[in-house]
Structure 1
Amino acid sequence: MTEKSIFNPEQQQKDISSKIVAGLERISEVFKTLLWDKAKLVGLSPIQIQLLIFIAFHKPELCNVSHLAKEFNITKPTVSDAIKILDKKGMIIKDYSATDNRSYSIHLSQLGQEILSKTNDFANPLKNEIDGLGQSELDDVFKTLGELIYKLNRNGILTVQRTCYGCTFYQKNKNVDFCNLLDQELLVKDIRLDCPEFEIRQ
């Protein structure tokens, strides 16, 4: 079986899908390295930085321990521990529910916003390289990534996704992508991977 491993260079030479997976693994390593560099700079862990960034850009109902655990494919205790540290450092504010004092959504404090401004650009070196691609290449890569994310979610490998393909407002008319919420055709560049209006298709 080992000769057919995705990570065996000989297998990669015979199978383009294996090469692509190996390439994605390399890119994930770049992502982790860039995140660690920022983490060391501000004295936080990578997941703590990721939580701050997510909380800053998403609506309150997604910023609670249960959802954050699903979002990052980690356990609730792991999220709770990270939130405790961010709270102790004064980087977040807990907004407790009026009906359940155990339930709360999370917002960034002023200090949290300051740390965000120092860390949320951690992936810019990767973006700078992608910016160098031509428009047709960008469209092709993005279309493929969007479809892959949707399929991984459908197969249960990726827990959370908010892409158009899985949204109740999305419709495919022949070869045309269409959003019924916006009432407009979607070009490749219009497809979203993280839509604020996303509602899961039942």
Structure 2
Amino acid sequence: MPERTRKDATRNREAVLAAADALFTRCESPDSVTTADIAAAAGVGKGTVFRAFGDRAGLLRALYEARLEPVRAAVEAGPPPLGPAAPPRDRALALLDAVLCFKLDNRRLALALEGSGGSEGSSPYRAEHYERWHGLLREVLDQVPGLTDSAFTAHALLAATRADLVEHLAGERGLPRERMRADLAALARRVLAPGGAE
């Protein structure tokens, strides 16, 4: 009996994540997707969603983490330009590009998660996903010769990948993806050029 219950819980969790993924991909505004919508699309009750994820923010975090896993694996152990064997400046540029591409590919979900700050009323800069991006980038920037404040530089560079800015540029202004990637790379190169961050 407990084994069947675990299997049911796993199946329900996967169904909820798949339903949320589909709804956020199709939605015009992330605020329009409710927990009730997700439960109905998954064929489960709202109570099942709350038991599995705690609340809407918990569901958003779980979905974000599931989508983020391939990027994390590439950063932590992959080959250059993201993996640890790449030169630090190249790795920083590749990491920023990966963050931007991730936000572009997951615009509605990133907006919903960053808008909530991870929990009601808290700063998005305290959210686990932001702390992870910042920590990864700061570790790389610590290895860049001549860079005096890797923590602040990581914050400043990540600001260019905020979901609301990405949505404004890509969604409202219609900036092409490759232009946004090139502009971010050019900014990062200027900041990380020898003597550029002093």
With structure 1 as the length reference, what TM-score do the two structures score? Answer: 0.29
Larger radius of gyration: 1
Question: Could you say which structure has the higher helix fraction?
Answer: 2
Question: Could you say which structure has the higher strand fraction?
Answer: 1
Where relative contact order (Cα < 8 A, 6+ residues apart) is larger, the structure is: 2
